[in-house]
Amino acid sequence: MWSALVDGLFSGVSIGSVLLLSALGLAIVFGLMGVINMAHGELMMLGAYTTVLVQGTLKGTPLFDSYILFALIASFIVTALFGLLLERTVIRYLYGRPLETLLATWGVSLMLQQFVRSVSWEFIIGTTIAIALFMGGTIGIKRIPAKFRDVSTAGIGLVAGTIALQISNALGNMYGLFMTKPWFGAQNQDVTAPQWLRGGLKLGFVDVQFSYVRIFIIVLTVICLAAVYFFLNRTQWGLRIRAVTQNRSMSSCLGIPTDRVDALTFAVGSGLAGIAGCAVSLLGSVGPNTGQNYIIDTFMVVVVGGVGNLVGSIVAALVIGMSSYLYGTFAGQIPVIQDLSKAIGIDLGAQTMAKVVVFALIVVFLQFKPGGLFPQKGRTVDA
Amino acid sequence: MQSQTFSNPTSNSMANGDRPATLNLSNLNVYYGESHILRSVDLTIHPGQMVCLIGRNGVGKTTLLKTVMGLLPARTGIIEFEGRAIGKLTPDKRARLGIGYVPQGREIIPKLTVQDNLLLGLEALGDRAPKNQKVPDEIYDLFPVLKKMLTRMGGDLSGGQQQQLAIARALMGQPKLLVLDEPTEGIQPSIILDIENAVRRVVETMGISVLLVEQHLHFVRKADWYYAMQKGGIVAAGPTSELSQDVVQRFLAV
């Protein structure tokens, strides 16, 4: 009896903490800034791949035992920098236009998925050359009269692409496999947990094993939450972020550099996605589609919790995690569900159905409370 | 319609021939889409001068202030602050140069405490901001009510308290020009007097310039100079001591 209860509680909290950790970045980017970032899952994937790289680099060195700590830091930095780049080059131009943001970031997510499949030295060199030539070319034609500019831009694009393709092909021929072999390819990569995270903790009074990896993720989630709370509520940049998210134009009139605040907020949210990616890489193998597995869940957590409310996200993640686990474990034993399953010929009690049912419940829930568990009240709603 | 130019000579008490005007607008034209809102506006504020902009509702007073602050772009014309053209700067850069803005509706950040709202005023100081984030006592001298409210949420304050907070917040940035948009709108008379006195005291003790939009004649008379607006243009100007009954009737919505 006690064992089942403790086991259920632990599993629920552990699923919830994975959800929460992956949704935390989105709670900032989508919840606070209102940016619908469909590439959030791919930012997690970048974090996971960074972990693969760090693990590969440190293999055989004395630091390998603690590689996961370096991987966490590296994932945060890599994804935060990528987020910064994304904000400066794409999202900045789309503030206040949710539909365009959704489409653009979805495009970015597809590009990132393909990027990790095809990335190789040849690919990197070719792309860099193409972008550099194109950018240089477009700056060069600033003096051309406006009516020829479209044609010349297209021309430069073609030329830059051709040159880059030729060079990368030549490099590929010269150096062979070293250049052309994809770093990761389409197949999944495995991250092995370091020695000290394998196995689990056994407590005397219950017959349950607490997996160290899961404990690690729960602790990491708590640390990240505390760090985000501290950053938003106790630092000057946090104060600026809260001011800008509540009243952008007035904040600007007070002298707050809103564009820098936007960039920083987005970078922090992206960095958190990276940390989440690093953490989930411990749970299963890492592939180009890793991000896709999490994107729906993370949006669900933020929406159910109430957009713009970090506490709401925490509660929502735990509730969704707990109910998925409980349903998956116990639904098969409930007579009504067994009968219903027989009637429609689908096993509703199966573990894989848990998510389907929970999401169906969320849909119903949102019909009654469209603002989520903790909707925003008062004047902020209109601002 | 060719608009006249109404010059505003340096008032003798504040005269300082070498210093450029705190704010100088010339031939300013602003549009909302295709509709022409401000028509060739010229306006000058000298250092230490308190200037009041009067006019009925919808003549473009708030638009003018927003253009000065950089919230709206001017299609043509020059905005100079202390002799420097600022027409292309973003609002945060203008705030850092020394323009403090108290907008219509006050725009207190609702989910921040009064203390945090005040501290945000320090942002306008940029690198000059003191390392210890503290609200100076002068602010509490001007608005004693704020001292008791520091931990309350800005959005929970009454209108009058929010107005005082908004002015205090702007003063935290030690502005050279304070832009006030109808600071007494919808506020009970006793607090209006507090606000009037505080603004007057600020002008006299800190020597800052003020651009004020106001409907209350009592407050208008506290200013040194007035500009009257009609249909997006300046149609009259002069020292407030010479405000005639006729002008008041035509331009104040009371």
A255/B123 touch (CB, cutoff 8 Å), yes or no: yes
Percent of chain A with pLDDT over 70: 98
Q: Going by DSSP bridges, is the β-strand pair B99-102/B177-181 parallel, antiparallel, or unpaired? A: parallel
B143 touches chain A (CB under 8 A): no
CB atoms near residue B153 (< 10 Å): 17
pLDDT of residue B147: 92
Per CB-CB distance under 8 Å, the chain B contacts of A249 are 71, 91, 107
**Contact of A194 with A65, CB cutoff 8 Å:** yes
pLDDT of residue A125: 87
Which residue in the set B71, B96, B103 is minimally distant from A255, CB to CB?
B96
- pTM reported for the whole predicted model: 0.88
pLDDT of residue A70: 94
CATH of region A2-117+190-377: 1.10.3470
Alpha-carbon dihedral angle through residues A243, A247, A253, A256, given to the nearest 10 degrees: 30
Residue-range domain boundaries for chain A = 2-117+190-377, 120-181
Please write the tens of the pLDDT for every residue from A97-116.
999 999 999 999 999 999 99
Q: What is the radius of gyration, based on Cα positions, of chain A? A: 24
Looking at residues A168-172, what average pLDDT do you find?
Answer: 85
Burial class, B150, CB count within 10 angstroms (exposed 0-12 / middle 13-18 / buried 19+)? middle
In degrees and rounded to multiples of 5, residue B178 shows phi and psi of: -105, 125
Q: Which of residues 45-84 of B touch A (CB under 8 A)?
A: 69-71
Q: What whole-number distance in Å separates Cα of residue B100 and Cα of residue B124? A: 8
Please write the tens of the pLDDT for every residue from A130-140.
989 988 888 88
> Which range (A54-68, A137-151, A327-341) has the least confidence?
A137-151
Q: What is the mean pLDDT of each run of 10 residues along chain B (254 residues)?
A: 56 56 93 92 93 91 95 94 93 95 92 94 88 85 92 91 94 94 89 90 90 90 92 91 82 68
CB atoms near residue B119 (< 10 Å): 20
CB atoms near residue A363 (< 10 Å): 10
Q: What is the radius of gyration, based on Cα positions, of chain B? A: 18
Interface A–B counts its CB contacts (< 8 A) at: 74
Q: What whole-number distance in Å separates Cα of residue A84 and Cα of residue A82? A: 5
Token readout for A379 is 């004047």
Which residue in the set B69, B110, B111 is minimally distant from A253, CB to CB?
B69
B89 touches chain A (CB under 8 A): no
Per-residue exposure over A234-249, b if at least 16 CB sit within 10 Å of its own CB, e if not: eeeebbbbbbbbbbbb
Per CB-CB distance under 8 Å, the chain A contacts of B120 are 239-240, 243, 251, 254, 256
Report the amino acid identity of residue A38: M
Token readout for A211 is 């997996």
State the pLDDT confidence band at A5, using cuts at 50, 70 and 90.
confident
Nearest to A240 by CA among A256, A229, A255: A256
Looking at residues A19-39, what average pLDDT do you find?
Answer: 91
**Contact of A210 with A10, CB cutoff 8 Å:** yes
Q: Going by DSSP bridges, is the β-strand pair B177-181/B76-81 parallel, antiparallel, or unpaired? A: unpaired
Spatial neighbors of B216 by CB under 8 A, at least 6 apart, are B184, B192, B254
Q: What is the ipTM metric for this complex?
A: 0.89
Please write the tens of the pLDDT for every residue from A137-158.
888 877 777 777 788 888 888 8
In degrees and rounded to multiples of 5, residue A287 shows phi and psi of: -140, 175
**Contact of B212 with B51, CB cutoff 8 Å:** yes
State the pLDDT confidence band at A382, using cuts at 50, 70 and 90.
very low
